[in-house]
């Protein structure tokens, strides 16, 4: 079973400048994803895809191969599927192999563990799914309690059952950006990262931190220090 794992980490970031190199729990953010991937038993070939020399140096210091990303795939609006497809085709050509599965680990999810990675790959293979996506159960921000503003009026996004308690609402799940896995053909033939039969890998909320802005970064840093992950 051949699995290619990519950690995508470009140098630029609007929300948090140089985000992938910012310190979280005493280490550059990207280091946490590299450590989890290296501790996993099932990631197979592991590469960091980057356009940045400093990120590349950190990856190599951690003992990980680097895949240089073209400038054309390093912009703010570059779709992730284009980055993924480039990585897959480049690695297959470089190594002369055809992978069975592809795994994407975004560095913005530093609290994902090696056990999460192995369990998600297990779900993907054992369920005979085309893809697996990590999620966590949403509670406080349930869509039944969300609204839109239209003509200066507040309208429900979806109807909340009258008199319902939080625990009575149907369970809903949010992608946390930590783990995406799929069969090779989904990327190469269909140009998508997840689709077909999609199996969920459910993570706990405390391991689902996804860093988009400075507040996310500070919270993740605090949680990692508090949990002694450092």
pLDDT at 154: 93
pLDDT single digits (tens) 57-77: 999 999 999 999 988 888 778
Task: Give domain status of residue 153, yes or no.
Answer: no
Domain containing residue 77: CATH number? 3.90.550.10
Looking at residue 24, its pLDDT comes to 93
Structural domain contains residue 12 = yes
Model confidence pLDDT, tens digit, residues 6-40: 999 988 877 788 999 999 999 999 999 999 999 99
Q: Is residue 159 a part of any domain in this protein?
A: no
Residue 27 lies in a domain: yes
pLDDT at residue 166, rounded to an integer: 65
Indicate the average pLDDT of the chain. 91
Neighbours of 223 (CB within 10 A): 17
Q: Is residue 155 part of a domain?
A: no
Q: With H, G, I as helix, E, B as strand and everything else as coil, classify residue 110.
A: coil
Domains identified in the chain, total number: 1
Q: How far apart are CA 45 and CA 107, in angstroms?
A: 17
Amino acid 82: pLDDT: 93
Of 117, 107, 139, 123, nearest in space to 217 by CA: 107
| Residue 187 within a domain | yes
d(Cα 112, Cα 134) in Å, to the nearest integer? 10
Residues 51 and 3: their CA atoms lie apart, in Å, by 23
Domain range for 180 is 3-136+174-226
pLDDT digits (tens, 9 = 90+) for 135-193: 999 987 888 888 999 999 999 888 776 656 666 788 899 999 999 999 999 999 999 99
User: Residue 35 has what pLDDT?
Assistant: 96
Angle, helices 29-39/53-61, rounded to nearest 10 degrees: 40
Q: Is residue 157 part of a domain?
A: no
> Token pair of 139, please?
């509670």
Sequence-ordered alpha helix ranges (H) in the chain: 29-39, 53-61, 80-95, 114-126, 184-190, 214-226
CB-hemisphere CA count at 13 Å for 146? 9
Asked if pLDDT for residue 229 goes beyond 70, the answer is no
Task: Say how far apart CA 172 and CA 27 lie, in whole Å.
Answer: 33
The neighbour count for residue 171, using CB atoms within 10 Å, is 9
For residue 163, tell me if it sits in a domain.
Answer: no
Hey, how many other C-beta atoms are within 10 angstroms of the C-beta on 16?
Answer: 18
Report the percentage of the chain scoring pLDDT > 90: 72
């Amino acid at each position: 079973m051949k699995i290619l794992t990519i950690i995508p980490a470009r140098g630029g970031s609007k929300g948090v400048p140089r985000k992938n190199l910012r310190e979280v729990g005493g280490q550059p953010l990207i280091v946490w994803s590299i450590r989890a991937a290296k501790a996993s038993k099932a990631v197979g070939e592991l590469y960091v895809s980057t356009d940045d020399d400093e990120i590349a140096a950190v990856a190599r210091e951690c003992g990980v191969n680097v895949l240089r990303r073209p400038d054309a795939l390093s912009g703010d609006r570059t779709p992730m599927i284009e980055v993924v497809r480039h990585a897959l085709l480049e690695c297959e050509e470089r190594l002369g192999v055809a992978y069975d599965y592809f795994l994407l680990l975004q560095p913005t999810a530093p609290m994902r563990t090696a056990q999460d990675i192995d369990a998600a790959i297990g779900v993907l293979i054992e369920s005979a799914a085309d893809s697996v996506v990590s999620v966590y159960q949403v509670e406080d921000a349930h869509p039944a309690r969300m609204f839109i503003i239209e003509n200066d009026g507040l309208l429900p996004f979806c109807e909340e059952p009258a008199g319902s308690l939080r625990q009575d609402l149907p369970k809903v799940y949010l992608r946390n950006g930590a783990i995406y896995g799929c069969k090779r053909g989904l990327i190469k033939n269909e140009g998508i990262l997840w689709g077909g039969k999609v199996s969920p890998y459910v993570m706990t909320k405390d391991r689902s931190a996804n860093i988009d802005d400075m507040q996310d970064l500070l919270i993740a840093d605090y949680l990692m220090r508090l949990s002694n992950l450092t």
